[in-house]
């Protein structure tokens, strides 16, 4: 039953998942903010971390931390083993064909820049076309614009409709003999729209065009199988899937990675160096110059263990219940407009309240202990498409509850009172 006494869509699934038990793994959720229990609805920006992730990182730091790949001493060997086991763990989670298809970067943004600057610079020339979508985060726009400045490539934008849904047929019309890459988000960070990436990949591959997917907002909400999907590149941000910051993941099909030159030079990515000539290692090490994020890789492996132990289906069903309930409660509030009502959505609700600026709404919600994100969500072109300068975004993670949705709705009603 909802707080309104009505049965909830997805309610059974919400009950099947023991959210209270999961919440105990996240000590920060016990915090009070301005004397009120914290309601954390900003997981799309960065999720909170369970004890298990922090414990894995602390355990490594306290028992066997050393730099990887370069020491013959015991700690370095143990550390290297854990680091490489983390790569195996990520490969297994994504169902990559081999561990070496997983490149650790310093963030998702860096992973997309790596593809643009290495694969892109080696394979694109003036007049070649890259297709992105109107839903993109700046991280999947600006790297291609930098390449446009450098090489004269053309950036095309697949449109969305007013509900924020990806217009597949319009996208297909953009595919041309000059299209060299499709780079789209799997799930929109600002609206929650799920892009029909299977159809996108099918259409692109039918024309021999590789596809990069920005999976930052998909990974926390669904199981991703890169082989089933067939994406050439898949990027994600561990800190959004209950793991640490400071690390990103680039999955690349082996044959794609092999056709990519190094993009940053330094230690660890070389086979041999002389002043006359340097040769490079094979992927993934070719793309991992310098000391990698060691503790973070181990934390990421623990985060994947954590979500897998909870069960992706159970978490997804729980979040679907939260999304349905939040949509129902918020859309019942007069003067509130939800931006992004595509039929297929992840647990993100973006909205505005008539007569109130998103930043004021965010501040008032914060005073009531409700943490949301306000602004353009690093998706300014999308805001322009929607005709709004900013939205208020409530994003739900596995630890959120129906009661927290009620707290959000009550806090929004307070905003309405204040703004008359
Ligand atoms: N892509 C999407 C869809 C995102 O939501 C984000 C982060 O908000 C990024 C890329 C960039 O991730 P990071 O800032 O961790 O590099």
The H or E element spanning position 158 is strand 154-158
Residue nearest to atom 7 of ligand 1 (CA): 45
Q: How many angstroms separate the Cα of 267 from the Cα of each of 46, 69, 138, 286?
A: 30, 10, 30, 10
Instruction: Give the per-residue pLDDT at 7.
Output: 39
CA-CA distance, 61 to 54, in Å (whole number)?
11
- Do 355 and 279 share a domain, yes or no? no
Could you tell me the two tokens for 243? 């793991």
- Do 377 and 235 share a domain, yes or no? no
Below-50 pLDDT ranges, the chain: 1-15
State the CB neighbour count (10 A cutoff) for residue 149. Answer: 8
Output the CA 108–ligand 1 centroid distance in Å.
Answer: 6
- Do 18 and 162 share a domain, yes or no? no
- Do 304 and 321 share a domain, yes or no? no
Instruction: Give the per-residue pLDDT at 419.
Output: 85
Output the CA 310–ligand 1 centroid distance in Å.
Answer: 24
Q: Total structural domains in the chain? A: 2
Output the CA 378–ligand 1 centroid distance in Å.
Answer: 8
Q: Is 11 exposed, middle or buried (0-12, 13-18, 19+ CB in 10 A)?
A: middle
Select from 261, 291, 308 the last residue of a domain. Answer: 308
Question: Domain range holding 401?
Answer: 11-30+312-419
- Do 172 and 270 share a domain, yes or no? yes
CA-CA distance, 265 to 326, in Å (whole number)?
48
- Do 283 and 401 share a domain, yes or no? no
- Do 275 and 327 share a domain, yes or no? no
- Do 192 and 161 share a domain, yes or no? yes
- Do 324 and 259 share a domain, yes or no? no
Indicate if 216 belongs to the active site. no
| CATH number (domain holding residue 349) | 3.90.1150.10
Which atom from ligand 1 is nearest to the alpha carbon of 237? 15
Instruction: Give the per-residue pLDDT at 15.
Output: 45
Instruction: Determine, yes or no, domain membership for 354.
Output: yes
Q: Tens of pLDDT along 190-211?
A: 999 999 999 999 999 999 999 9
CA-CA distance, 158 to 173, in Å (whole number)?
9
Instruction: Determine, yes or no, domain membership for 1.
Output: no
Could you tell me the two tokens for 161? 């409709």
Residue from 378, 381, 406, 419 carrying the catalytic annotation? 378
Residues 47/397, Cβ–Cβ less than 8 Å = yes
Ligand 1, residues at Cβ distance < 6 Å: 107-109, 137, 139-140, 185, 189, 214, 216-217, 237, 248, 378
Output the CA 137–ligand 1 centroid distance in Å.
Answer: 7
The pTM is what?
A: 0.95
- Do 75 and 117 share a domain, yes or no? yes
């Amino acid at each position: 039953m909802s707080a309104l006494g009505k049965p909830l869509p997805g309610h059974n699934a919400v009950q099947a998942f023991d959210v209270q038990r999961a919440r105990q793994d996240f000590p920060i959720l016990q915090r009070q903010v301005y004397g009120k229990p914290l309601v954390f609805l900003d997981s799309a920006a960065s999720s909170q971390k369970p004890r298990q992730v922090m414990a894995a990182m602390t355990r490594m730091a306290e028992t066997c931390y050393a730099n990887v790949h370069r020491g013959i001493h015991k700690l370095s060997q143990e550390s290297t083993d854990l680091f490489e086991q983390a790569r195996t763990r990520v490969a297994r989670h994504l169902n990559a064909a081999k561990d070496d298809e997983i490149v650790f970067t310093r963030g998702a943004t860096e992973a997309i820049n790596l593809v643009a600057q290495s694969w892109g610079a080696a394979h694109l020339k003036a007049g070649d076309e890259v297709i992105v979508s109107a839903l993109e985060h700046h991280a999947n726009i600006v790297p291609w614009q930098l390449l446009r400045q450098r090489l004269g490539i053309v950036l095309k934008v697949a449109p969305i409709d007013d509900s924020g849904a990806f217009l597949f047929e319009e996208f297909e019309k953009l595919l041309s003999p000059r299209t060299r890459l499709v780079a789209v988000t799997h799930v929109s960070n600002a609206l929650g729209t799920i892009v029909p990436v299977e159809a996108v990949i099918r259409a692109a591959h039918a024309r021999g065009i590789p596809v990069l997917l920005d999976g930052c907002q998909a990974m926390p909400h669904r199981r991703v199988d890169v082989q089933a999907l067939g994406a050439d590149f898949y990027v994600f941000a561990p800190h959004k899937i209950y793991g640490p910051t400071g690390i990103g993941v680039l999955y690349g099909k082996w044959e794609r990675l092999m056709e990519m030159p190094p993009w940053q030079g330094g230690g660890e990515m070389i086979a041999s160096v002389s002043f006359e000539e340097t040769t490079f290692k094979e992927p993934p090490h070719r793309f991992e110059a310098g000391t990698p994020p060691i503790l973070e890789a181990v934390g990421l492996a623990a985060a994947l263990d954590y979500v897998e132990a909870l069960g992706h289906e159970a978490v997804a069903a729980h979040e679907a219940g939260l999304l349905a309930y939040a949509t129902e409660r918020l859309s019942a509030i007069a003067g509130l407009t939800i931006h992004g009502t595509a039929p297929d959505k992840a647990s993100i609700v973006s909205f505005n309240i008539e007569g109130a600026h998103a930043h004021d709404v965010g501040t008032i919600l914060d005073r009531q202990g409700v943490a949301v994100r306000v602004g353009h969500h690093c998706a300014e072109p999308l805001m322009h498409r929607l005709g709004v300068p900013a939205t208020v975004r409530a994003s739900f993670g596995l630890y959120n509850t129906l009661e927290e949705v009620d707290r959000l709705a009550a806090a929004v009603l307070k905003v309405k009172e204040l703004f008359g």
